[in-house]
């Protein structure tokens, strides 16, 4: 997919890195982004465990703010490079990208808003973009190639299930709370 508007220089280079997953730098960007997302969601989950929060709370919040700043710069870079900003802002991934950074900033003004940071796990859906690069088997190829292609589909399915379970567990933790036995997000996920 090439840009429809004539961009040049740094803007074009950045566009190719952010949006062109079939380039080596684009693929590396997507992989680093997925690692950041998984790390951020893991930190949010760990912070919901009281023992971990009491021991490492300030450290975990600092790391979470680092991720928030990274995701904010990424969102701004996406806005800067896209030819049609409005289209990106209201696209599925544009909305998810915005929703993944808003809870951190809202947490400065609204107590408890940080719990919604687990929305970042939805950003793992970007893996579809990366897996789209793998070549699926066509008709007539042998069984081994078909099993390899199915393995990718199974991985995507498992990521979707894990994301749904994390979000559901977080909602239970927030809605039911400690008075009903949901003392942490992992307990909500276990439920």
Tens-place pLDDT, residues 104-156: 788 777 776 666 666 666 666 555 555 543 343 344 356 667 667 778 787 88
| Segment 44-72, tens digit of pLDDT | 888 888 898 899 989 988 998 898 899 89
Is residue 54 in a domain? yes
Q: Hey, what's the torsion of the CAs at 105, 109, 113, 114, to 10 degrees?
A: 50
Q: H or E stretch including 148?
A: helix 143-176
Coil, strand or helix: which one is 145? helix
Overall domain count for the chain: 1
Is residue 83 in a domain? yes
**Sign of the CA dihedral running 116, 121, 125, 127:** positive
Containing structural domain, residue 56: 9-190
Coil, strand or helix: which one is 73? helix
Is residue 1 in a domain? no
pLDDT of 130 = 53
177-186 in b/e burial notation, b at 16+ Cβ within 10 A? eeeeebbbbb
Is residue 135 in a domain? yes
Structure token digits, residue 84:
């049609």
State how far the Cα of 118 lies from the Cα of 44, in Å rounded to an integer: 7
Is residue 3 in a domain? no
Is residue 2 in a domain? no
């Amino acid at each position: 997919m090439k840009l429809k508007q004539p961009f040049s220089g740094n803007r074009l280079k950045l566009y190719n890195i952010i949006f062109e997953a079939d380039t080596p730098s684009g693929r590396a960007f997507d992989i680093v982004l997925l690692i950041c997302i998984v790390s951020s969601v893991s930190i949010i989950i760990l912070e919901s465990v009281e023992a971990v929060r009491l021991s490492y709370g300030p450290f975990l919040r600092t790391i979470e703010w680092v991720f928030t700043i990274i995701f904010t710069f990424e969102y701004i870079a996406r806005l800067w490079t896209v030819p049609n900003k409005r289209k990106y802002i209201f696209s599925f991934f544009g909305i998810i990208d915005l929703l993944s950074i808003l809870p951190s900033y809202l947490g400065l003004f609204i107590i408890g808003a940080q719990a919604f940071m687990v929305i970042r796990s939805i950003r793992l859906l970007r893996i579809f973009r990366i897996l789209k690069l793998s070549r699926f088997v066509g008709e007539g190829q042998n069984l081994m190639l078909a099993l390899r292609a199915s393995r990718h589909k199974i991985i995507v399915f498992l990521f979707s299930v894990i994301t749904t379970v994390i979000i559901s567990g977080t909602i239970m933790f927030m809605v039911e709370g400690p008075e009903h036995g949901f003392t942490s997000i992992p307990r909500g996920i276990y439920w």
